Structure 1
Amino acid sequence: MAQNQTDKPTATTVAGQEVRPDAQAAPIIAEPQALKRAEKHRRRQKITSNGTISAAVMVLAAVIAIIVANGPAYEAVHHFLAEPLGIVIGPFVGQLSIEMFVNDFLMAIFFLLVGIELKFEMTVGELRKPRQAALPMLAAVGGVVVPAVIYIALNHGGNGIHGWAIPMATDIAFALGVMSLLGDRVAPATKVFFSTLAIADDILAIIVIALFYGHAPSVPWLLASAGCLVVLFVLNRRQVYTCRHYVVVGLVLWFCMFNSGIHATLAGVLLALFLPAKSDINLGRLTPWLKRKSGQLYENYDEDMAVLGQHEFMHTAGEIEKVMHHVTPPLERMEKAINVPVNFLILPIFAFCNAQVRLVGVDLGAVFVDPVTLGSLCGAVLGKPIGIIGVTALLVAIKFAKLPRGMDWHQVVGVGIMGGLGFTMSILIAGLAFTDPTEVLAAKVAILSGSVIAAVIGCVYILLTGRKAPKDPKPAAHAKAA
């Protein structure tokens, strides 16, 4: 409906509200400098949301670490990473080195992101449909068991047996980043299958770290950790939707777990599981409410008055801003807050600190025949594809499941090969499993070599055997990566 007014130009009706003609044509951001900043922000978002770029940054950090480790700066960097840091909470004092701070605290934030992705998948993703998720999840079990068996077979009776879990992990960010390089030669269903498999792989790796790679537990600190979990449970049940309350309790939980003997990074996963995945706004009433408020904005706006003088307009705008902030669930708000720092800061720092493989004066021949190297390398490069492809083929053969629409056996083989990319989690497990520098060196050489081999062979195989995937008429559900 249109009407004439003496003090305002003719208005038209849009979504039930009167809108001025000039407002329809004018951009929402009026200031040229603000427009430029908004455009730069969009360009940054495009870069930071690209999995290939984030994977490349992590690989670059690892390459720089290897160069530094074999150059004159090695001693200075080594001593810097060993410098102590102090953590004080009231009467409780903790001390850890910079390297431990990276591996125990910063990686807890990475595990928080992993936990958020797990909860997302269990709430609205592939893991909420047990039958649909069963095939990649069981394939992940095969991709965990077979590499561990191969490692144990090659290290049976030796000191390196403690590293049996090293080849079982798949680095989801690294693997999906490499897979994205193949573009439309990888079917959308294959990417969802691989995402689900890698998430299940992460779950198994987290369980293994919790059960087998902690220290002798401290009962008082375990009870304190349990108390923190109770507080998080109460916050969730009382429908507290402010992230900062969860963050504060999560920090205390990390400190308690750090002193409990359980690996402190698991605090990130536990925190994620308690973050609310719902909005505290009644979404069914949101659109009518916004229509009313937009009408109030229009009525209260005075183009001749400076913005600071438009009190009613600013009050209504503030109400809308507050409500729209609460539309997004805390789980997603937290994910948006930490996603870029994790992928472009924490993981590269972790890669730099843990890829310090010094080969000066090292007999590489002896390193590559070390049982730890052989077990880690063969477990990742051979065990992963054997386990993933074998379990998938078995389940399809007995008609337990079918391959997802648009995914063929060449793609299954490619997924199996790329499952050997175990960079982040494998290095973390290696650091937990070994204290002997020789064993740590052997494990890291195997992890880096295995990841490169898996990436190259997987890409070449898919490029040679694959064809551009047709668009799936029934696209698979959106799968988010860690």
Structure 2
Amino acid sequence: MSGQLSGPLRRFLATESGSALLLVGAAVVALAWANSPWSASYDALWGTVVSVSAGDAAFEMDLGHWINDGLMAVFFFVIGLEVRRDLAVGELTRRRRVVLPVVAGVGGMVVPALLYLLIAPSGEAARGWGVVIGTDTAFLLGALALVGPATSTQLRVFLLTLTVVDDIVAVTVIGVVYSGTLHVPALVLAGAGVLALVALDRWGVWRTWPYALTALAVWAATIASGLHASIAGMVAGLLIPAFAPRREEVEGAALRFRAFRQSPLAEVGRSAQAALARAVPVNERMQIVLHPWTGYVIVPLFALANAGVDLRGGLLGEALTSPVTWGVAVGLVAGKFVGIGGSALLGARLRLGAFPQGVGPGQVLGGAALSGIGFTVSLLIIGLAFDSAELQDEATVGVLLAVVLAIALGWVVFRLAAVLHGETSAGLPMVLCRPVDKDRDHLLGPADAPLTLVEYADFECPFCARATGVAKEVREHFGDDLRYVLRHLPLPDVHPHAELAAAAAEAAGAQGRFWEMHDLLFAHPEQLELEDLAGYAGHLELDVEAFLHDVDEQHHAERIREDVADAEASGARGTPTFFIGMRRHVGPYDARTLIAELDAARAAGGTAPATRDER
């Protein structure tokens, strides 16, 4: 478990925010091109027919459809990958924290759709209600970086969780409401491909290519069946396996690479490469490859192909008086603001859930305002909802208008939240809330050492520093210049024996053998039943009866709870989490990285926080 945001989630957020600039640029180019003397070439380009054939079989679509039905399927596939990962090992595993974003997400779809239908209730225009249900995640995160708090990590995670609901429902609406006549044999083939993906997961297939080929077959069959390709992308992504790193596979990869270092032969290298691939889930390997392509190429290309509306000839004036234009704009901007913001505030008041630590109600309302940026999904649905080119253009103007209005509203709400309620940051704390106390904390090294490394650990965690040798390597590097401090952060939801192991360590500590028990617990993370702990106590020649009495009576439970509370207040969310002095370390926690961070801190003036009696 990571002590802060997981690496995949950090990469996801960074890619989404960065791609927003390209998205805006592509939309501006599309508008300029469509309103230039060369506008005919714009239409002609996307109408160019492209065919892929093999023998007598041919797959033919114009370039616009290759982007909307082909490349955008990859976009939804990546969304499906992220949702599956979050359900397996990410934010969506914490069910209590998911309730509020889900409630807000549902409100953020129902209210916009109702507002749209109030403004455009009849005829072909009424088919456009689906245009206002989605939120453009990339555009949303990019706008948040522009007008939101300087630190907005927690708010971004809340909004990202919320948009998962948007994405799933939007794809379902596309597949059910906006697909054409169904071709049953092709639909059966698509279903068979889905079952094949399930089978690959069940059989534990770890290579990427069987999943990729099967997903491609599901996409082709879905297109032939009459369903929109987006549903194939999302479903296939949801079925790509994701799991937490497994200790035995990580150690196996390390052994293979050690063998390659000793014997650098091609066959040994291939074996090491395969072991490394096996240790990393297929889901994450696919995300690493595909997500930059979707963020930096596919989505901007989609904007270039779909945002070009020719506003000449009075179209802009007509659009500004059209119920479709205002249904889209009002549905997205007001609907998302009221639906998401109102549902979130009401859900929090009814105690259905709580806002993430560091996020205030005003910031939630600001995020709700920015959620009115529908763009990518909205433009996709416009082409499916309306047959009339005039209605398509009017709806597109509404989407573009909503982008401007949503960003402006978000800016105002965030400023008001900062001025009226002091909500200037929406990130986790970065500072150790309780200084090191040499009379209370468990220390290795001189109490007055100039450098301090604090670790929040879980004895059942396979990747904590003692388990991986990180702490030992760092301590050997710095010697008496470093004091290493261990605090408890048991995670009973994922490690059922963690609290019992922490109590055992403290019971041994009461007899002066904390670090010896600490080493034994990390040496046997899969043997932490009470009888195992009693055996360790006997091995250390402790008073076993007193040891078991301390554990049974929970004599040290309050101390462990204090450590957990300190971890929460310091921004630690999992194990291992490290603090270099008073500052929380974010990112990789291998020995080399921690040594470099400690060296940098020493160069900047030292890291040892004042101990409690020094304060």
Instruction: Verify same fold: TM over 0.5.
Output: yes
Tell me by how many angstroms 1:323 deviates. Answer: 1.3
Cα separation, 1, equivalents of 2:572 and 2:128: 40
Aligned to 1:354: 306
1:283 paired with 2:247, answer yes
Name the SS for the 2:424 alignment partner.
coil
- Larger fraction in helix: 1
Distance 1:445 1:293, change over 3 A: closer
Label 1:425 to 1:68 Cα distance change in 2 as closer, same or farther (>3 A).
Answer: same
- Distance in 2 separating the partners of 1:77 and 1:183: 35
Give, in whole Å, the separation in 2 of the partners of 1:320 and 1:426.
45
Query: Could you say which structure has the greater relative contact order, defined with CA pairs below 8 angstroms and 6 or more residues apart?
Result: 1
Instruction: Please tell me the residue identity of whatever aligns with 2:424.
Output: K
Q: Distance in 2 between matches of 1:134 and 1:47?
A: 22
Report the CA distance between 1:326 and its aligned residue.
2.3
Give the TM-score of the pair, scaled to structure 2.
0.65
Amino acid corresponding to residue 310 of structure 2 in structure 1: R
Instruction: Report the AA paired with residue 448 of structure 1.
Output: L
> Alignment RMSD, CA only?
2.5
Q: 1:400 aligns with which of 352, 358, 383?
A: 352
Give the CA deviation at 1:284.
Answer: 2.5
Per-residue deviation, residues 319-375 of structure 1 (Å, max 9, x unmatched):
323311322111111111111111111111100000011011124232112111111
1:206–1:266 CA contact under 8 A, matched in 2? yes
Is 1:474 aligned with 2:571?
A: yes
Residue aligning to 1:21: none
Kindly provide the amino acid, as one letter, of the partner of residue 196 in structure 1: T
User: Which residue identity does 1:416 align to in structure 2?
Assistant: A
Q: C-alpha separation between the residues in 2 aligned to 1:288 and 1:81?
A: 50
Is the CA contact 1:115–1:268 (under 8 Å) kept in the aligned structure 2? yes
CA displacement 1:146-203 (0-9 Å, x = unmatched): 0000111111123200001111110011101211235754543212111111111111
Worse-superposed segment, 113-122 or 452-461: 452-461
Query: What percentage of aligned pairs have identical amino acids?
Result: 31
Q: Once the 2 structures are TM-superposed, how far is the Cα of residue 88 of structure 1 from its aligned partner?
A: 3.4
Q: Which residue of 2 aligns with 1:248?
A: 213
Relative to structure 1, the CA distance from residue 219 to residue 317 in structure 2 (aligned partners, 3 Å threshold; closer, same or farther) is closer
> Given residue 83 of structure 2, which amino acid in structure 1 is its aligned partner?
L
Tell me if the contact between 2:84 and 2:239 (Cα under 8 Å) persists in the aligned partners: no
Supply the distance in 1 between the matched residues of 2:329 and 2:391 (Cα, whole angstroms). 13
Letter in 2 for 1:119: R
Question: Any idea what SS the aligned residue of 2:229 has?
Answer: coil
Aligned-partner Cα distance in 1 for 2:257–2:65? 51
What is the SS of the residue equivalent to 1:111? helix
Q: Are 2:132 and 1:167 equivalent residues in the alignment? A: yes
Structure 2 residue aligned with 1:52: 17
Shift >6 Å, 4+ stretches: 45-48
Among 186, 207, 217, the residue aligned to 2:182 = 217
AA in 2 matched with 1:94:
F
Q: Deviations over 1:61-86 (max 9, x none)?
A: 00000000000211012112111122
Report if aligned partners of 1:166, 1:427 keep a CA contact under 8 Å in 2. yes
Equivalent residues of 1:142, 1:388 under 8 A apart: yes
Q: Is the Cα contact below 8 Å between 2:15 and 2:292 reproduced in 1?
A: no
Match of 2:332 in 1: 380
Of 452-461 and 163-172, deviating more is: 452-461
Give the conservation status (yes or no) of the 8 Å contact 1:372–1:443.
yes
- In the aligned structure 1, how far is the partner of 2:252 from the partner of 2:201? 28
Closer, same or farther in 2 for the Cα pair 1:408/1:293, shift >3 Å?
closer
Contact 2:252–2:275, Cα closer than 8 Å, also in 1? no
Distance (whole Å) between structure 2 residues aligned to residue 241 and residue 47 of structure 1: 22
Residue 94 of structure 1 deviates from its aligned partner by 3.3
Aligned-pair CA distance for 1:261? 1.3
2:155 maps to what in 1? 190
1:69 aligns with 2:166: no
Q: Kindly tell me the number of residue pairs found equivalent between the two proteins.
A: 421
Q: Residues 439, 48 of structure 1: CA spacing in aligned structure 2 closer, same or farther, 3 A cutoff?
A: same
Q: Aligned pair in 2 of structure 1 residues 128, 378: CA closer, same or farther (>3 Å)? A: same
Contact 1:68 1:356 in 2 (8 A): yes
Q: CA deviation at 1:102?
A: 0.5
Segments of structure 1 that go 5 or more residues without pairing to the other structure are: 1-44, 301-311
SS in 2 for 1:165: helix
* Unaligned stretches of 5+ residues in structure 2: 1-9, 430-569, 576-615
Q: Structure 1 length normalisation: TM-score? A: 0.82
Partner of 2:543: none
Classify the secondary structure of the residue corresponding to 1:439. Answer: helix
Which of 416, 432, 440 does residue 368 from structure 2 map onto? Answer: 416
Aligned mates of 2:58, 2:49 — CA distance in 1 = 13
Q: Is the 8 A contact 2:134 2:166 kept in 1?
A: yes
Larger radius of gyration: 2
1:321 is the counterpart of 2:301 = no
| Corresponding residue for residue 272 of structure 1 | 237
- Structure 2: distance between partners of 1:343 and 1:152: 32
